[in-house]
Structure 1
Amino acid sequence: MSGILDTVNLRTQMVGQNRLELLLFGLETNQRYGINVFKVREVLQCPELTEVPRQTTAIKGMAHIRGETIPVLDLSEAIGRHPIPDEDLSKTFLIVAEYNRRTLAFMVRKVDRILNTQWDQIMAPPKEIGTENYLTAVFEYEGKLVEILDVEQILADLYPMPTDVSDEVATSEVRARAREHHVLIVDDSAVARNQMQRSLEDLGVKVSVANNGRQALSLLKGLLDKDISVEKLFLMVISDIEMPEMDGYTLTSMIREDQRMSGLHVVLHTSLSGGFNVSMVKKVGADGFLAKFNPNELAGVVVNRIRQVEQG
């Protein structure tokens, strides 16, 4: 355990093409869960918490960590499982993570190990389980399935975010011009796709969606095989970075390697934090980077691209 606690911060500085490092952890059962190491700031034993008035009991309180006051979320209770009893809090661990510009700590029963794998080894959840769940991906490890939780969905349920674009960004003139354009959104999180789609449709653009990089690449190549120019069809592609089967870095690289769509405008977005994202954006040839999710900033990126296209 001490090795994990000491090295998480160092491991978060590593990034590679279609590569994924998962921190494995457990909740109230023997089921293993995983979280992308790049989202993790640190792991520590749960300190004494400060109670706060709250609408949901899943928020256990506030932890004071390295000069910050951070909300602590009982991850087991947040996904509908049994909550961790108050008398057991001192025996738990906190995974301090950053999502969508928000720092919070997930309370878990145990932290297992860091596992190095590839995004193409990660699978989307079976369609048969439906959409009313908190799974974003699964993969097999040591003969059992490890579940990767859709943290964006969990946080959206706890902290609903507005998706309307302000009139200052989306003026009537901008909305009229936006109706002539089409954007492809790529994201494995259903809540993230829906948030972006609602915001961009509020702006006025037509939106198509894909669940991961492999699906998006298949869609683009299918259009090309029908002699449809995707550079003319789509104003831009806005893709998540961390996705099962094919991540956003690899998708961008594949787009740039295909001469038929090498000029397609690609913006990568992510809930991750850190300067390494910007350097990787440049390395794979993406045209921009966007920290998600803010409806006005998302719309602003699209509006700027519309102006670029109209100016030739």
Structure 2
Amino acid sequence: MAGIMDGVDQRTQLAGHNRLELLMFRLGARQRFGINVFKVQEVIQCPALTSVPHSHPVIRGVANLRGNTIPLVDLGMAIKMKPIDDLKEAFVIITEFNRTTIGFLVSSVDRIINTNWEDILPPPKGMSRGTYLTAVTRVDDELVEIIDVEKVLAEVMSVSEEISQEVLSDVDEVGDMPHHVLIADDSSVARNQVKRTLDQIGVETTLANDGKQALDILLKWAEDEDPKLKRLAMVLSDIEMPEMDGYTLTTSIRNDPRLTGLYVLLHSSLSGVFNNAMVEKVGANKFIAKFKPDELAGAVLDRIKAVDNA
């Protein structure tokens, strides 16, 4: 299974072209699921686990990998499916996102596919696992479900959304002019984390479920000469989103004369030097890795101060 991740670093040219690669896997015998390759560090056979008393029920234990202690989450249990019976036969997808390294126990790993974000669609309403999905796609005439791993992480690990008093004190330095932020994120958990963070500093928000929806909102505001567009401090966008990713959204904004001057902050679960390079390539103004309320609120307040002082 080590070979399945070979050459991942060479795949970064997909970004910025509304394309991605999914690592497909199974929970149980039948249903296929997918996760963005950029979240994946490696895939291994399940190692020996050490149990952790009083941990979340879906954490089957921790593993020591190259000196790092990593919690291993039974992904089936986490999304309300059956737990894995035989851990010796299971695989672990070691991931890094939201500044956290975590392993997901799965029944089997299939292969990596190259696809378009346009072919990644929001989950149909009424799906039994709908609350744990960000998107679906079709491969070999079979439905592939993309799990909202940010929601899983938020449920398993405690994530604070409180802004420190030090950052909140900066709110007093902001003028009385109302400001607006357009938030684009396909994860309902992440979207609402951002909203609640900005609520604490008194910033109005409009929410979009993906890049295409965000662009449609901006185009309508421009066409209608909506006051929200004039009060828009920034577009705060995720990168991984169905139909249109954050890089493509940014490029579309820069290519429209009515929108080209908008400030774009990319806020992604994916971190590292690669994203900083892509921010510059597509013309975004700033990149912040998820999710630090103080850092995010501080970046928004800095932008508002810049607008007020312009």
Smaller-chain TM-score bracket: over 0.9
Equivalences for 1:145-160 in 2 at 5 Å?
145-160=143-158
What is the identity, as a one-letter code, of the residue corresponding to 1:126? Answer: P
- CA deviation after TM superposition for structure 1 residue 176, in Å: 6.0
The unaligned stretches of length 5 or more in structure 1 are none
Deviates more, 1:143-152 or 1:223-232: 223-232
Given that 2:162 and 2:197 are in contact with CA atoms closer than 8 Å, whether structure 1 keeps it comes out as: yes
- Aligned equivalent of 2:115: 117
Q: Which residue is equivalent to 1:279?
A: 277
**How many Å apart are 1:230 and its aligned residue?**
6.0
Q: Which runs of 4+ in 1 moved over 6 A?
A: none
Worse-superposed segment, 121-130 or 268-277: 121-130
Letter matched to residue 232 of structure 1 = K
Alpha carbons 1:94, 1:105 under 8 Å: kept: yes
Of 218, 221, 239, the residue aligned with 2:219 is 221
**Partner amino acid for 1:216?**
A
Query: Taking structure 1 as reference, are residues 178 and 277 closer, same or farther at Cα in structure 2, changes over 3 Å only?
Result: farther
CA contact (8 A) 2:2 2:43 kept: no
**Identical columns (%):** 50
1:150-299 matched pairs, under 5 angstroms: 150-171=148-169, 173-174=171-172, 177=175, 180-228=178-226, 232-299=230-297
Q: Which runs of 5+ in 2 are unaligned?
A: none
2:67 maps to amino acid: G
Residue 303 of structure 1 aligns to which amino acid in structure 2? L
CA distance in structure 2 between the aligned counterparts of 1:142 and 1:252, rounded to whole angstroms: 32
Q: Which residue identity is paired with 1:242?
A: E
TM-score (norm 1): 0.94
Please report the TM-score for the alignment, with normalisation by the length of structure 2.
0.94
Q: Give the structure 2 partner of residue 50 of structure 1.
A: 50
Q: Which amino acid aligns with 1:72?
A: L
Check conservation: 1:174, 1:303, Cα contact below 8 A.
no
Cα distance change, pair 230–179 in 1 and its aligned pair in 2 (3 A): closer
2:174–2:304 CA contact under 8 A, matched in 1: no
- Look up the equivalent residue of 2:145 and give its one-letter code: E
RMSD: 1.9
Question: What is the alpha-carbon distance in structure 2 between the residues aligned to residue 266 and residue 115 of structure 1?
Answer: 30
Contact 2:124/2:130 (8 A) holds in 1: no
Structure 2 letter corresponding to 1:112? D
Q: Deviations over 1:21-44 (max 9, x none)?
A: 000001123000000000001111
* 1:25 aligned partner: 25
CA distance in 1, matches of 2:129, 2:25: 23
Instruction: Give the drift of 1:274.
Output: 2.1
1:42 partner letter? E
Cα distance, 1:90 vs structure 2: 1.6
Post-superposition CA distance 1:157-195 (Å, at most 9, x none): 112322222221012743863771111100000000110
